Amino acid sequence: MRVGIGYDVHKLVENRKLILGGIEIEYSKGLLGHSDADVLIHAIIDSILGAAGLGDIGKLFPDNDDKYKGISSLKLLSEVNTIIKNKGYRIGNIDSTIIAQKPKLSPYIEDIKKSLCTVLDIDLENINVKATTEEGLGFTGSGEGISSQSICLLV
Protein backbone atom coordinates (compact mmCIF):
# COMPACT_ATOMS: atom_id res chain seq x y z
CA MET A 1 0.00 0.00 0.00
CA ARG A 2 1.18 3.49 -0.85
CA VAL A 3 -0.30 6.89 0.02
CA GLY A 4 0.06 10.20 -1.79
CA ILE A 5 -1.28 13.72 -1.29
CA GLY A 6 -2.10 16.39 -3.84
CA TYR A 7 -2.89 20.09 -3.78
CA ASP A 8 -3.78 22.53 -6.53
CA VAL A 9 -5.03 26.08 -6.88
CA HIS A 10 -6.23 28.18 -9.80
CA LYS A 11 -7.37 31.77 -10.14
CA LEU A 12 -11.01 32.55 -10.99
CA VAL A 13 -11.43 34.73 -14.09
CA GLU A 14 -14.14 35.96 -16.45
CA ASN A 15 -14.82 34.23 -19.78
CA ARG A 16 -13.80 30.72 -18.73
CA LYS A 17 -15.96 27.70 -17.96
CA LEU A 18 -15.79 26.36 -14.41
CA ILE A 19 -14.94 22.67 -14.61
CA LEU A 20 -14.61 20.58 -11.42
CA GLY A 21 -14.23 16.82 -11.51
CA GLY A 22 -14.97 16.88 -15.22
CA ILE A 23 -18.37 18.51 -14.67
CA GLU A 24 -19.25 22.00 -15.89
CA ILE A 25 -20.45 24.06 -12.94
CA GLU A 26 -22.84 26.92 -13.53
CA TYR A 27 -20.99 30.07 -12.43
CA SER A 28 -20.05 33.50 -13.78
CA LYS A 29 -16.30 32.74 -13.65
CA GLY A 30 -14.01 29.87 -14.48
CA LEU A 31 -10.52 28.76 -13.54
CA LEU A 32 -7.48 30.07 -15.38
CA GLY A 33 -4.97 27.51 -16.56
CA HIS A 34 -3.17 25.89 -19.49
CA SER A 35 -5.62 22.96 -19.60
CA ASP A 36 -9.26 23.20 -18.50
CA ALA A 37 -7.81 24.13 -15.05
CA ASP A 38 -9.86 21.48 -13.22
CA VAL A 39 -8.36 22.08 -9.79
CA LEU A 40 -9.98 18.96 -8.29
CA ILE A 41 -8.67 16.56 -10.90
CA HIS A 42 -5.22 18.17 -10.76
CA ALA A 43 -5.05 17.55 -7.00
CA ILE A 44 -6.27 13.98 -7.50
CA ILE A 45 -3.66 13.37 -10.21
CA ASP A 46 -0.92 14.65 -7.90
CA SER A 47 -2.11 12.38 -5.09
CA ILE A 48 -2.08 9.36 -7.40
CA LEU A 49 1.33 10.21 -8.85
CA GLY A 50 2.68 10.89 -5.37
CA ALA A 51 1.50 7.52 -4.10
CA ALA A 52 3.16 5.82 -7.06
CA GLY A 53 6.37 7.83 -6.63
CA LEU A 54 6.03 9.28 -10.14
CA GLY A 55 6.51 13.00 -9.53
CA ASP A 56 3.70 15.46 -10.17
CA ILE A 57 1.29 16.69 -12.81
CA GLY A 58 3.71 19.35 -14.09
CA LYS A 59 6.39 16.76 -14.73
CA LEU A 60 4.04 14.48 -16.67
CA PHE A 61 1.96 17.15 -18.42
CA PRO A 62 4.06 20.36 -18.61
CA ASP A 63 2.14 23.61 -19.00
CA ASN A 64 4.52 24.75 -21.72
CA ASP A 65 3.54 21.86 -24.01
CA ASP A 66 0.89 22.99 -26.50
CA LYS A 67 -0.58 19.49 -26.81
CA TYR A 68 -2.09 20.00 -23.33
CA LYS A 69 -3.48 23.49 -24.03
CA GLY A 70 -7.21 23.43 -23.27
CA ILE A 71 -7.21 19.64 -22.74
CA SER A 72 -9.85 18.05 -20.55
CA SER A 73 -8.31 17.03 -17.24
CA LEU A 74 -10.42 13.85 -17.48
CA LYS A 75 -8.10 12.78 -20.32
CA LEU A 76 -5.06 13.46 -18.15
CA LEU A 77 -6.62 11.48 -15.29
CA SER A 78 -7.32 8.57 -17.61
CA GLU A 79 -3.70 8.57 -18.77
CA VAL A 80 -2.45 8.60 -15.17
CA ASN A 81 -4.78 5.71 -14.34
CA THR A 82 -3.32 3.70 -17.23
CA ILE A 83 0.22 4.48 -16.06
CA ILE A 84 -0.37 3.27 -12.50
CA LYS A 85 -2.19 0.14 -13.69
CA ASN A 86 0.80 -0.67 -15.92
CA LYS A 87 3.00 -0.30 -12.80
CA GLY A 88 0.84 -2.90 -11.01
CA TYR A 89 -1.15 -0.50 -8.81
CA ARG A 90 -4.85 0.07 -8.42
CA ILE A 91 -6.68 2.77 -6.53
CA GLY A 92 -7.80 1.70 -3.07
CA ASN A 93 -9.57 4.97 -2.35
CA ILE A 94 -9.40 8.72 -2.88
CA ASP A 95 -10.55 11.41 -0.46
CA SER A 96 -10.65 14.98 -1.74
CA THR A 97 -11.84 18.45 -0.78
CA ILE A 98 -12.68 21.45 -2.93
CA ILE A 99 -12.22 24.81 -1.17
CA ALA A 100 -14.40 27.54 -2.71
CA GLN A 101 -16.47 30.35 -1.27
CA LYS A 102 -18.76 30.28 -4.30
CA PRO A 103 -20.49 28.67 -6.09
CA LYS A 104 -22.32 26.23 -3.85
CA LEU A 105 -21.04 22.84 -4.93
CA SER A 106 -23.23 20.39 -3.01
CA PRO A 107 -25.70 19.98 -5.92
CA TYR A 108 -22.82 18.77 -8.13
CA ILE A 109 -20.94 16.39 -5.81
CA GLU A 110 -22.64 13.14 -6.87
CA ASP A 111 -22.18 13.93 -10.57
CA ILE A 112 -18.52 14.78 -9.92
CA LYS A 113 -18.01 11.47 -8.10
CA LYS A 114 -19.68 9.52 -10.94
CA SER A 115 -17.51 11.31 -13.52
CA LEU A 116 -14.33 10.44 -11.63
CA CYS A 117 -15.37 6.83 -11.01
CA THR A 118 -16.09 6.30 -14.69
CA VAL A 119 -12.63 7.48 -15.74
CA LEU A 120 -10.81 5.69 -12.90
CA ASP A 121 -12.91 2.51 -13.21
CA ILE A 122 -13.56 2.38 -9.46
CA ASP A 123 -16.70 2.02 -7.36
CA LEU A 124 -18.45 5.10 -5.95
CA GLU A 125 -17.65 3.90 -2.43
CA ASN A 126 -13.93 4.28 -3.21
CA ILE A 127 -14.03 8.01 -3.87
CA ASN A 128 -15.07 10.85 -1.62
CA VAL A 129 -15.47 14.46 -2.70
CA LYS A 130 -16.23 17.19 -0.20
CA ALA A 131 -16.67 20.94 -0.61
CA THR A 132 -16.08 23.63 1.97
CA THR A 133 -15.68 27.39 2.22
CA GLU A 134 -13.11 29.35 4.15
CA GLU A 135 -15.75 31.61 5.65
CA GLY A 136 -14.56 34.63 3.70
CA LEU A 137 -10.88 34.21 4.63
CA GLY A 138 -7.92 34.07 2.25
CA PHE A 139 -7.90 34.02 -1.55
CA THR A 140 -10.58 31.33 -1.77
CA GLY A 141 -12.76 33.12 0.76
CA SER A 142 -12.53 36.37 -1.18
CA GLY A 143 -13.50 34.58 -4.40
CA GLU A 144 -10.12 35.09 -6.11
CA GLY A 145 -9.59 31.37 -6.69
CA ILE A 146 -10.44 27.79 -5.86
CA SER A 147 -8.14 25.20 -4.34
CA SER A 148 -8.39 21.48 -3.83
CA GLN A 149 -6.69 18.78 -1.77
CA SER A 150 -6.62 15.04 -2.30
CA ILE A 151 -5.20 11.92 -0.73
CA CYS A 152 -4.97 8.59 -2.53
CA LEU A 153 -4.30 5.06 -1.37
CA LEU A 154 -2.82 2.75 -3.97
CA VAL A 155 -2.85 -1.00 -3.44
φ, ψ for residue 151, nearest 5 deg: -130, 140
- Whether the Cβ atoms of residue 97 and residue 132 lie closer than 8 Å to each other: yes
Structurally, what CATH architecture does the domain formed by 1-152 represent?
2-Layer Sandwich (3.30)
pLDDT at 85: 98
Domain boundaries in the chain? 1-152
**For residue 67, what pLDDT band results from cuts at 50, 70 and 90?**
very high
Q: Which residues are annotated as a binding site for a divalent metal cation?
A: 8, 10, 42
Predicted local distance difference test score (pLDDT) of residue 47: 98
Strand, coil or helix: 140? helix
Please tell me the predicted confidence (pLDDT) of residue 48: 98
The Cα angle at residue 140 between residues 139 and 142, in degrees rounded to 5: 65
Phi and psi angles of residue 126, each rounded to the nearest 5 degrees, phi first = -100, 5
CB of 133 closer than 8 Å to CB of 100 = yes
Q: Residue 147 has what pLDDT?
A: 98
Per-residue pLDDT of 102-145, as tens digits, reads: 999 999 999 999 999 999 999 999 999 999 999 999 999 999 99
Output the known binding site: 8-10, 34-35, 42, 56-58, 61-65, 132-135, 139
User: Looking at residue 5, what is its pLDDT?
Assistant: 98
